Structure 1
């Protein structure tokens, strides 16, 4: 049996690079309750918001979009300043089984040298949706990422086969939104909820000594693990960035709104956001 399997591996594409691609068939929504409230202290901004609510101003969505774009730009700088793109991934060691007939074969898979990149492609994907209920302004802000890329080196052993090479993955169709409310009586901005659609993951295995049935087996083994790992990183990134945004808006909300109302087409934010150690927050656990 082992001789036959080894022979098939040689006669097949044992020395070729495999480009087998499998796409996950489902996505998952993750909701994060934020419940962070920021006071609006600037009298001019308070007056603007009060008037906007009274007049049901159509400029509210433009105002919110303006602020979001500037803050996300600062968040990207934050990630780059902390050397978080690309970001290293933890080593993965997995056991798996294969049962082609009556016999169950046990295998092991080691994945090292992992990296994920393009988290900094976070951006607003459309116009904010604004609603008015009495003196409460509600806003849903859509954001997303471009394709997020990951790589690993791998080696596996099963049935006297020892394929090794690299894994290339792409997480795509990742989108999300923030829900925000502005209370013009209390003059506060509350970041209520962040909802993340985790997107779909495609994987390609390249390497020496790899054949199609084994590629499909390995993809089944690692797909969920890698998907969950990237989603966990995105959650941590979002959580850290939200904390950062809250601290930033506490200092700069009045300045941002003031510049927007003055019609400044290209805004260079003069304030510097405080330095934080995001690498410590996002450090992968082994």
Structure 2
């Protein structure tokens, strides 16, 4: 049965050789350079207990396979220079008059990518389509900046550290058996996570801490979420392109 191996190739990229290679510049290059082989008959044995029959089709849970590949992907992310990841400088306004300039920003722990629920392949005979749901999460994304705050007559410099916990993204891939095409059917941010922030280097008054915290959170959290979404979406689009090229080469 070709359909299951075709879908499983998405989650069986062989990254081993790349751990000794030079860092690459983009997620699609990382993925494209590391597809070596898809899972074989022996590996398929481990998913047999996770196959259930449904009316009009079947469901297959492939958590074991995905956990293995995500573990390898975590190493690739670090090796390829995406963890940590440089952030652009930001200038944030403080009300009624003032600014917080953020420089030397870094984003950490993109490599904590994992799944937060079952990864399920659904085969529908009626729709002639196979779908794969992939619930992705990031345990704790951290960031650091150097801040320079100018507010009224004050000019304060120090460090800022923060994190966003439990970012969740749902993706659904599909394989259309009529035109033999793999696609991303759904890409949805389910939870932007819990945002925390801490200032270092100076003792700040409560009112200034609150003003800076609110202003930074309003700007930095959407920036980090966008970086994560772009990273995952780029990787997903690259996987789709790789799989389609693989399918059409058969």
Q: Calculate the TM-score normalised by the size of structure 2.
A: 0.67
1:154 aligns with 2:152: no
Structure 1 contact 71–245 (Cα < 8 Å) conserved: no
Distance across 2 between alignment mates of 1:143 and 1:161: 43
1:219 aligns with 2:213: yes
Distance across 1 between alignment mates of 2:142 and 2:243: 31
Greater Rg by CA:
1
Structure 1 contact 167–203 (Cα < 8 Å) conserved: yes
Unaligned runs of 5+ in 1: 1-41, 99-105, 254-286
Structure 1 contact 163–209 (Cα < 8 Å) conserved: no
How do residues 1-286 of structure 1 correspond to structure 2 at under 5 angstroms?
56-58=57-59, 60-62=60-62, 65=63, 68-69=66-67, 71-73=69-71, 75-98=73-96, 106-133=97-124, 134=126, 135-196=128-189, 197-250=191-244
Alpha-carbon offset, residue 162 of structure 1: 2.2
Unaligned runs of 5+ in 2: 1-37, 45-52
Alpha-carbon offset, residue 71 of structure 1: 4.9
The aligned length equals 197
Alpha-carbon offset, residue 89 of structure 1: 0.8
Distance across 2 between alignment mates of 1:168 and 1:219: 11
When you count strand as a share of all residues, which structure comes out higher? Answer: 2
Distance across 2 between alignment mates of 1:226 and 1:73: 28
Distance across 2 between alignment mates of 1:108 and 1:138: 49
Q: Calculate the TM-score normalised by the size of structure 1.
A: 0.59
Which runs of structure 1 show a deviation greater than 6 angstroms over 4 or more consecutive aligned residues?
52-55
Distance across 2 between alignment mates of 1:214 and 1:54: 60
